[in-house]
Amino acid sequence: MTRVATMTFNNVISSAMRRSQERLAESQMQLNTEKKVQSYGELGGDASRVLSASSMLAQQDAQNAVAKRVNTTLGFYDTSLNAIDDSLSDLKTTLLKVIGTGDSADLGKAVENAFVDFRNALNQNEAGVPIFAGAQTDTSPFTPKTLDDVAALADPGDAFANDDVRSSARLSDNVDVEYGIGASDIGTGLVKAFQTLAGLGDFGDKLTDAQTAGLQTAIAQIEEGLKGVRSVNAKNGDLMNHVDALSDRSAERSKLLTQVVGDAVDADLGQVAMDIDARTTILNASYSVFGQLQNLSLVNFLR
């Protein structure tokens, strides 16, 4: 009669069960982490390449974040400069109509509204920081609060508290972008126009000859001031396009680097799910065989 080596079979099946459990645990870990390796050491010869790509990817992500912040600031500049352009263009149109009709009943209110728009645009802030202040972020860059304050200025430049400090941001390897606009860069010429208008006194229903001449002077000052605003806004638009181009190139590099890292460490979740099913089946079969061996007896062979 053949001898049944129960202990030997038990050891063989136990070893097989342990291997199946380890492989199943490995697949479950891959499913949970979505990674086919859990440490760089498991990458072997690819570790150096993946580490380098990961470092470059982190740098690209940081530069992309900076580019987004810069673009947001440039967008605030664009919005404020367009607001100034629109408001002062409307004021110029109003002044021309008043000169043409001689009817100035509502002129004072129109000038006041344009001044408020101008002041608010120059004192625009981003996250509580004035965007036209340079490094002087603890105060509003345009200080006059009323037209009377403007009229009292000895020099238009006295209306501004900003400095000439500009920000710099690294948006790509060895590419630093300087950006920033000071309130005085865009507002000095237009302050002259408001000084002229404030010096004309209260407007009645009809203009005086002196007021008519003053409005003509103010129109010329507005036109000159808007040239400066539009020139600065054009440069700001060019810079926005430049930052967008750098961001697009950076995004392409990030995509490539992400693929390099992903190919090395990311798990194929579809394959992992199939592996889990297969390894679960194998483990269950091992349990079944082990259970049968536990119940094996010579009595079964002597019947």
CA 43 to centroid of chain Cα atoms: 34
Question: Do 88 and 223 sit in the same domain of this protein?
Answer: yes
Domain count, the chain: 2
Q: Which residues are paired to 68 by β-bridges?
A: none
Question: Do 150 and 217 sit in the same domain of this protein?
Answer: yes
Question: Do 85 and 222 sit in the same domain of this protein?
Answer: yes
pLDDT at residue 211, rounded to an integer? 92
Question: Do 282 and 179 sit in the same domain of this protein?
Answer: no
Contacts of 231 by beta carbon, 8 Å cutoff, 6+ apart: none
Residue with tokens 């009809």: 206
**Is there a domain that residue 61 lies in?**
no
Q: Which of 44, 51, 65 is nearest to 257 (CA)?
A: 51
Torsion of CA 120, 243, 181, 116, to 10 degrees: -10
**Is there a domain that residue 214 lies in?**
yes
d(CA 63, CA 195): 44
Q: For every one of its 303 residues, what pLDDT tens digit does the chain have, with 9 covering 90 and above?
A: 444 555 565 666 566 667 656 665 565 565 555 565 555 555 555 666 666 677 777 888 888 888 889 999 999 999 999 999 999 999 999 999 999 988 888 899 999 999 999 999 999 998 889 999 999 989 999 999 999 999 999 999 999 999 999 999 988 778 889 999 999 999 999 999 999 999 998 888 888 999 999 999 999 999 999 999 999 999 999 999 999 988 888 888 777 777 766 665 654 455 546 656 565 666 566 656 555 555 555 555 555
Q: Which of 50, 112, 117 is nearest to 261 (CA)?
A: 50
Question: Do 154 and 284 sit in the same domain of this protein?
Answer: no
* Structural domain harbouring 83: 73-235
Strands 167-172 and 175-179 come out as antiparallel
- Tokens found for residue 167: 């920000």
Question: Do 120 and 223 sit in the same domain of this protein?
Answer: yes
pLDDT at residue 166, rounded to an integer? 92
Question: Do 141 and 23 sit in the same domain of this protein?
Answer: no
Q: Which of 280, 41, 73 is nearest to 180 (CA)?
A: 73
